[in-house]
Structure 1
């Protein structure tokens, strides 16, 4: 159905660009390494006879024209940028899997009424320029060009200047247009498919998230002379709240998670009672009807614990995005393909954000997941079996062919 040897060869060749000592990848957005990856991708697209263009955000498109050029575009792809010391499958699988699907169609002489476009979005990871998914967000109305162009990395370099440096400032008229459907194949980046021994994840949506920074204020004092009974220790109160939040999440339905990613105390020295403790919370919830209640319950836990210890607190809501629900029609199409290929699958939600999240704003969207070995991703150990990649790419191929007829 697809040529796994060809797909594997391309993925391994791309993995050489930015390769780390432990067989991972560092290919940050708009870096020299990513520039080389972009040029390689464009060469492969041109080798297939695709019409290649890139827009004013550096998003790359390769178009296989349909018999009806005015029909809505069927689009598939992902990203080729990585996190520092990341894996070689994250994002790249979706781009090169789509390329392989289109090449297999062309080899078989399959005509498609709808144009098919392969896309590689800029700065999906957000590892260099925050926030994540700037390229897809730019072309779906989520972010303005001014906002994106003025994003800076940790060294103060501007997005626009770095885009110019790698010579990938395209024309605004090259942005995606008339996209009716978007399908993104991706590694799961979690353990669910592997542990349940299922081959394909048919993704129904993406979990909503709420990022908050909580600051608990007590009183700083000398650690040796302040009796335990007289302390207002912000860190102890924070620790109790953190444990309660973790316990709460463990008792919630599948897909609801809570993570404490950063903790900072003040004065942050060994011999003083912490007068102030700040910590971040990342709440994820896949269901629209539960999302706001989840956030509310976490806030109530914090309020209760802090009040019991007679301290004070504040919450800074950093960023919130409601759950994304994908197209029932596209999800059903992928399901039928899995059944036709006798592949085990499960309907699931993605806990991580992807370009599909923003593409869902403008097109019927869904995702295809393949298993991740040991559920490990965003690390050099990231791995997916080639047999699973072959099955996932075959599902993508047949889904695209069906929708593009």
Structure 2
């Protein structure tokens, strides 16, 4: 193999697109989307697909006890820590073809390009597929990377249950992706995660690459409001304990609280009504609350306001309630050196850029607590994501993969030079 020298390397855009479309058939839905939920049979199939492609490249695969997959390509200097690329392969129930999977397959394409050119980096390179990024089946989101980073214990993760009562641990064992490596035992020296923006800014401004500076903070809550299920025809209005009425007050209040804080967003995205019958007053309603802002101090104020809102809504309708925080991710500021490599990579590839903050949570948030990390964004049509209509053009996917390649090579060169200088 050629040693690490400056090379004009270009990713194979057609091969990348073909891989995206091939994996899109695993868990495909009639409306053109993907429903590939974490630790489902389709998740196993796409993991097997990835493992086979990594084996074809001669990569060393390690799977940890949370099901996170790490495929490593040796570098010229095994004393250097690996540079990681990756994202996730699970989707929302109404997912699209690019959210998460683009970051994994672009990392695979980088490794394929280097392999075809016989190009050896100084540091090892690593491809990562994180488990349960979406959180749509097992809450909280980013569970696999959270267990890897020590945010959650293996026991906590194993005990998380889906709506049918199946647990994360049992499902992981069932599909055969419980690895032997302890969570956190596999380490890397830096990570680059390519992702679609999942928002409208890049497309609206006609910018090709988003240089991600960080991720806004995120807090998730489970809320249960409990009243009395009773007959709709025989229970007077003044004697009802309607759990849905209390939740309606909360839903409106979440919207009001978020709008009162600039740059904040607040959402109830999941609602479960019991018994959910035409002629029964709802006796119990479950919901999730999602609060996000770039400042922890603002999130503290929002959380206090939400807690007061829930108490007041329950008291007004005569309900009991349980509000449980299930996830808390602090705002993340990405590594300056990694960001510099993305800028260098985009400039080398000839793409326009703008700095951007991620509004969505990503595994990079947990990775950044352990190693230097950043992200690269490409546009998506109308800013749409978590939707079967999610769309990113082949040229946009190729642009992101090319910048990923250039950024990783730049970081590899600079890390090797820094280590050489320190040794001298």
CA offsets, 1:139-171, max 9 Å, x none? 211222223233333333343333333332322
Find the aligned partners of 1:238 and 1:164 in 2 and give their Cα distance.
37
Quote the offset at 1:286 in angstroms.
1.7
Quote the offset at 1:191 in angstroms.
1.9
My pick for the range that moved more, 369-378 or 258-267, is 258-267
Counterpart pick for 1:365 among 340, 363, 373: 373
Q: Does 1:252 align with 2:264?
A: no
Find the aligned partners of 1:51 and 1:234 in 2 and give their Cα distance.
53
Answer yes or no: is the 8 Å Cα contact 2:16–2:109 preserved in 1.
yes
Answer yes or no: is the 8 Å Cα contact 2:94–2:387 preserved in 1.
yes
Shift in alpha-carbon separation, 1:234–1:46, aligned structure 2, 3 A: closer
Counterpart pick for 2:325 among 318, 331, 356: 318
CA offsets, 1:66-98, max 9 Å, x none? 111121111111111222231111111111100
Aligned equivalent of 1:10: 19
My pick for the range that moved more, 166-175 or 51-60, is 166-175
Q: Does 1:188 align with 2:197?
A: yes
My pick for the range that moved more, 274-283 or 362-371, is 274-283
Shift in alpha-carbon separation, 1:215–1:71, aligned structure 2, 3 A: same
1:201 partner SS = strand
Answer yes or no: is the 8 Å Cα contact 2:149–2:184 preserved in 1.
no
Quote the offset at 1:26 in angstroms.
2.0
Find the aligned partners of 1:166 and 1:267 in 2 and give their Cα distance.
33
Shift in alpha-carbon separation, 1:317–1:180, aligned structure 2, 3 A: same
Quote the offset at 1:47 in angstroms.
1.7
Shift in alpha-carbon separation, 1:304–1:347, aligned structure 2, 3 A: farther
Answer yes or no: is the 8 Å Cα contact 1:210–1:317 preserved in 2.
no
Aligned equivalent of 1:24: 33
Aligned equivalent of 2:421: none
Counterpart pick for 2:97 among 88, 110, 122: 88
2:136 partner SS = coil
Q: Does 1:161 align with 2:170?
A: yes
Answer yes or no: is the 8 Å Cα contact 1:291–1:322 preserved in 2.
no
Q: What TM-score, normalized to structure 2? A: 0.81
Answer yes or no: is the 8 Å Cα contact 1:216–1:238 preserved in 2.
no
Q: What TM-score, normalized to structure 1? A: 0.84
My pick for the range that moved more, 391-400 or 269-278, is 269-278
Find the aligned partners of 1:36 and 1:279 in 2 and give their Cα distance.
31
Aligned equivalent of 2:7: none
Unpaired runs of at least 5, structure 1 = none
CA root-mean-square deviation: 3.5
Quote the offset at 1:205 in angstroms.
1.8
Find the aligned partners of 1:243 and 1:30 in 2 and give their Cα distance.
34
Unpaired runs of at least 5, structure 2 = 1-9, 414-424
Aligned equivalent of 2:420: none
My pick for the range that moved more, 201-210 or 311-320, is 311-320
Correspondence 1:196-345 to 2 at 5 A: 196-212=205-221, 213=223, 242-243=251-252, 245-254=254-263, 256-261=264-269, 280-299=288-307, 316-319=323-326, 320-345=328-353
Answer yes or no: is the 8 Å Cα contact 1:193–1:371 preserved in 2.
yes
Find the aligned partners of 2:130 and 2:101 in 1 and give their Cα distance.
11
Find the aligned partners of 1:325 and 1:331 in 2 and give their Cα distance.
10
